[in-house]
Structure 1
């Protein structure tokens, strides 16, 4: 029997249980272990990672300085310079003799006063959070002219500018760029700290790549956000977007080669979500993250066209080689031997063994002739050199309608392997369409539901949205021979810096919580089983104001390793439902079971920083069960039963 942590943070749904039939159940669920359905895809539930809502910069990427390289459209965004009274000095952004070809801007001070103090500060994203006694690694590239005769200090300070940790960088600096690093350890913990660099002395002094990292990080990633991903145990990671891959022009489309190598040599890129990416987490780090999570990496590449939703720019067909070559070079980077051109670059970064990627995606939310003409260029080039790679074809942003139907016709007639569908819909639509994939052609392309979420009123992360998603997921699981991958989207949202709601995980400088949707995703992924077991429900369909819904949503599967029958039940209605469960004799229930449930008093409840556990699963153990028993499920609930069995 698999051990599951018992969480005592939520009042458990009302359950009445007996080993013999209770009078007048609302429904009878018949489970037929003699009739096995499709195998459950080993990649079914994954995550979609896009730098939206400051998911990376200001989020998972642990860098605490905003605009560390002065490369933003506003080069001094996030920076503040304060001059002591009567100080004769100016500052400017310069581009002559830059740090490197990818980092062309830097900040310079021309100082005429020998004994006046100048302070340069950065408070990151809503202040820099500092823990008492923890170590923080500061680094900066500095260059001076021969006449500079001053000293430079660096400190971590509170909002009033009072130092909590301070170090000297030195008094003599080279006329060539040199990197300086110190370790800072604050005396007190702060939520709203700031970094301050002070200068005193005359001459010209220049700065670039000003960086502050907590010593506690994993490959540059914030530990508490990483732990949230670890708990999800995703089967795949789709990255780095999304619309981000396309750009709102080809100029700021995502180019993976800009994201690898030394941090100071990575380009800063303005993304279509309205802020800048440092590329501190690039393709190499995404591959490391996938490996760390035990997840299949699913990289997505630009198809030579910017975001069609925003009015696309198309690369001319006779100039597509750059985009195709980018994909081929990446596959060599990820999978090639260490003595290959791009495989050697991977090895130099510290990963001599190949990552052995198996999938790539070409395009995101693309459609029509322009995409259909470009996709074959990628497929032909990849299949000629890497026939083992599976290529994912992009569907349009719509999940029904003319463009969607055209995409599927093209995919079927052109032998597409996997089609990427996206689905953002109101909860009612999801509840009405849980049998969507029952009707798909079994001989056609497989489906990756690369992005989906229920958008309830106000696009809030409510229990209502999570329940609708759970209902839809019963249909995904039941049709796992067609839907082989699915990911909620977006993944992260930084409070106060967002462009899109709802989202799976919310965070600020020091706190993080999972939404009800997060707990549903984790619940389903923890309880998939290996094969679908046939089941049927009496009085399943109900009509409400002219629309057909189901009274309960369910799916049954079997886990051969733990020898457990897994039954998922979703009750999206406010009324409790009494369910008689009858299991065929091909298996015998031993009596032991585990019941995990997500529910709350109000379907519009959601988690917050103040109450992060308001909607959260609770697990209880059960005993004395047989092949027939009755449970009462409260309204607004998602429940998983794991029944220990023998015989299958």
Structure 2
């Protein structure tokens, strides 16, 4: 006995761990996994749209900010006018008068914390312009670096008293994340300018009015199943007047009216008074992006309540019809024939084919009796006209508590198809809630984990390995309960390193670069390895939900004929794991790979300069119907196993 005790003590001292035996039953899948299971959620927070995903480089391009020169430095005689405008919903423009003195009239734009330009890349400048009198005017369009040098110039001539669009392409001779755009009136005379724009030519798919290519590529690489847009609290607005109205975001981009951003003053310690929405990235672009990245679109519409954190504005039930009609018109915009009113708008914008919208969310994270009584009106109207469209309701802003407990029964009573749950919690919460959905009602509405992220407050809510591993562990519970959980999206998605209000975030960027966080790679590893059917995985007769800091789930992938096992070891020591596969009959494992994230330090983060934590792939030795593994500490691995 003493010898056995001594050997055990020696084993522990050497770091040798007891073996954990798990079983996977391949013969009897327990649930179907929705192809929409893992996706992305976009909200214009942290300069995620203008200054981020939307590739426009000019801020306040139409001079519609409440202070019309925000973002601009005018010099010489420059005034804001609105007589005989070019665009009725963006009526302001500038008039520049050059009285003949050299370089005494023009305007200079700072972009979004600077304009990012790359050497050798081309940029498309455009402007709507006219000359009030008959005298032609010459403009110099210049790219100015952060040293105030302007080595890139092109001259254009404006003539004629009617508004006209003028465009020119400039090639940058330098790389600078904090450049500026300058327009100088070279000749004596007067010129009117509106909708001054500068886009990279190399946008995603080289589209004009396009999106930033590297950021869209990062979304595409997640292999998302669903794309929720445009928010979030953006939907609600700080007031009903500033709520997101999708009809303002379609049609000619030049005539989409400016909207105040919900997040400009929300955080008093990080206010951004220059944060507005040009709506250049609008609902048409969101639907197009969903199509591009292969994700089902999930638009969210206002339910007639402004943000309940900010105000108490409520649309009375007898005044709700326009809001309901907006939702019905949105479905027509997405799916309607080209002969319908809103289907024609979509077709005229360049997409005659429908977008095949299948679901719509009503409201974001409202609470109290005022929400379900309005949601019920929307649900009845949508079901009456579009019975195949799924309706997404909300369980409020928290993962539990009084409002959560009130709203879930209301969602069941109304009969919504999915309930949107949000949880921004500490990593420990995610670790201890891996079994959250094991006991959910299998016959009720399905779950949409619409906004979640682990907030490691001890590290300033950094996007570190600890947060990412806790999310990976929690997501094993989402997959294991795929009969209940149909959608899941991390939030927020984007953050500009020089203009953010909320952290953590999935992808960080500046004006030239971007960085994928460890959390991003967890999402990618799930999105690329979803599988089609849940397999029963147990240890000691129970799901693996944190025993000895281990978490696990397994799936069958019908198209490839592979078994996919996801294993998380949150402990600071290795773990030996043996997995026995039952129900294989005469089949055997013949090969396998492991894609994994691992680092010895839970506080490890990625930076714009270096992504330290990225998935790596290695082969896995398999034997018969058993897999024996040595899991390192602080480890998340996805094993794809091929049968003969």
Separation (CA, whole Å) in 2 of partners of 1:112 and 1:187: 32
User: 8 Å contact 2:455–2:504 — kept in the other structure?
Assistant: yes
SS of residue paired to 1:371? helix
Residue of structure 1 in register with 2:306 after alignment: 306
Indicate whether 1:68 and 2:73 are aligned.
Answer: no
Match of 2:504 among 488, 499, 502: 502
Residue of structure 1 in register with 2:75 after alignment: 82
TM-score by length of 2: 0.91
**Shift in Å at residue 389 of structure 1?**
0.7
Task: Mark the CA change 1:401 to 1:156 in structure 2 (over 3 Å): closer, same or farther.
Answer: same
1:86-133, Cα deviation, whole Å (9 max, x unpaired): xxxx32222332222210222223444455532311131233222333
Separation (CA, whole Å) in 2 of partners of 1:24 and 1:388: 53
Q: 1:237-386 to 2 correspondence within 5 Å?
A: 237-274=227-264, 275-386=275-386
User: 8 Å contact 1:595–1:640 — kept in the other structure?
Assistant: yes
Task: Mark the CA change 1:310 to 1:550 in structure 2 (over 3 Å): closer, same or farther.
Answer: farther
SS of residue paired to 2:106? strand
Structure number with the bigger relative contact order (C-alpha 8 A, sep ≥ 6) is 1
User: 8 Å contact 1:78–1:124 — kept in the other structure?
Assistant: yes
Separation (CA, whole Å) in 1 of partners of 2:602 and 2:147: 44
User: 8 Å contact 2:599–2:613 — kept in the other structure?
Assistant: yes
**Shift in Å at residue 146 of structure 1?**
1.5
SS of residue paired to 1:244? coil
Separation (CA, whole Å) in 2 of partners of 1:173 and 1:258: 32
Residue of structure 2 in register with 1:123 after alignment: 110
Separation (CA, whole Å) in 2 of partners of 1:630 and 1:483: 30
User: 8 Å contact 1:593–1:625 — kept in the other structure?
Assistant: no
Separation (CA, whole Å) in 1 of partners of 2:629 and 2:173: 56
TM-score by length of 1: 0.91
Match of 1:180 among 143, 163, 166: 166
Structure 2 spans left out of the alignment, 5+ residues? 1-15, 265-274
User: 8 Å contact 2:117–2:512 — kept in the other structure?
Assistant: no
User: 8 Å contact 2:103–2:184 — kept in the other structure?
Assistant: no
Residue of structure 2 in register with 1:592 after alignment: 591
**Shift in Å at residue 609 of structure 1?**
1.1
RMSD of aligned Cα (Å): 2.1
Residue of structure 2 in register with 1:194 after alignment: 180
1:463-485, Cα deviation, whole Å (9 max, x unpaired): 00000101110000000110000
Separation (CA, whole Å) in 2 of partners of 1:513 and 1:616: 11
**Shift in Å at residue 453 of structure 1?**
0.6
Q: 1:102-121 to 2 correspondence within 5 Å?
A: 102-113=89-100, 115=102, 117-121=104-108
1:267-303, Cα deviation, whole Å (9 max, x unpaired): 1111111111111110001111111111100000000
Q: State the number of aligned residues.
A: 613
Separation (CA, whole Å) in 2 of partners of 1:76 and 1:234: 40
Indicate whether 1:470 and 2:472 are aligned.
Answer: yes
Separation (CA, whole Å) in 2 of partners of 1:541 and 1:143: 70
**Shift in Å at residue 556 of structure 1?**
1.0
Separation (CA, whole Å) in 2 of partners of 1:425 and 1:624: 38
Separation (CA, whole Å) in 1 of partners of 2:35 and 2:548: 28
Match of 2:47 among 54, 59, 64: 54
Indicate whether 1:511 and 2:541 are aligned.
Answer: no
User: 8 Å contact 2:137–2:191 — kept in the other structure?
Assistant: no
Separation (CA, whole Å) in 2 of partners of 1:264 and 1:373: 38
**Shift in Å at residue 167 of structure 1?**
1.7
User: 8 Å contact 2:544–2:550 — kept in the other structure?
Assistant: no
Structure 1 spans left out of the alignment, 5+ residues? 1-22, 84-89
Residue of structure 1 in register with 2:533 after alignment: 531
**Shift in Å at residue 413 of structure 1?**
2.2
SS of residue paired to 1:291? helix
User: 8 Å contact 1:65–1:210 — kept in the other structure?
Assistant: yes
Separation (CA, whole Å) in 1 of partners of 2:296 and 2:83: 44
Separation (CA, whole Å) in 2 of partners of 1:330 and 1:530: 31
Task: Mark the CA change 1:550 to 1:316 in structure 2 (over 3 Å): closer, same or farther.
Answer: farther
SS of residue paired to 1:303? coil
Separation (CA, whole Å) in 2 of partners of 1:539 and 1:618: 32
Separation (CA, whole Å) in 1 of partners of 2:113 and 2:400: 41
**Structure 1 runs, 4 residues or longer, greater than 6 Å off:** 539-543
Separation (CA, whole Å) in 2 of partners of 1:64 and 1:434: 43
User: 8 Å contact 1:462–1:604 — kept in the other structure?
Assistant: yes
SS of residue paired to 1:635? coil
User: 8 Å contact 1:431–1:549 — kept in the other structure?
Assistant: no
Separation (CA, whole Å) in 2 of partners of 1:599 and 1:186: 40
**Shift in Å at residue 454 of structure 1?**
0.6
Indicate whether 1:28 and 2:30 are aligned.
Answer: no
SS of residue paired to 1:309? coil
Task: Mark the CA change 1:542 to 1:357 in structure 2 (over 3 Å): closer, same or farther.
Answer: closer
User: 8 Å contact 2:125–2:168 — kept in the other structure?
Assistant: yes
Separation (CA, whole Å) in 1 of partners of 2:154 and 2:482: 58
1:129-157, Cα deviation, whole Å (9 max, x unpaired): 22333221111112332276643221222
Task: Mark the CA change 1:98 to 1:619 in structure 2 (over 3 Å): closer, same or farther.
Answer: same
Indicate whether 1:43 and 2:47 are aligned.
Answer: no
Task: Mark the CA change 1:37 to 1:108 in structure 2 (over 3 Å): closer, same or farther.
Answer: same
SS of residue paired to 2:47? coil
SS of residue paired to 2:286? helix
Residue of structure 2 in register with 1:553 after alignment: 551
Separation (CA, whole Å) in 1 of partners of 2:313 and 2:135: 48
SS of residue paired to 2:470? helix
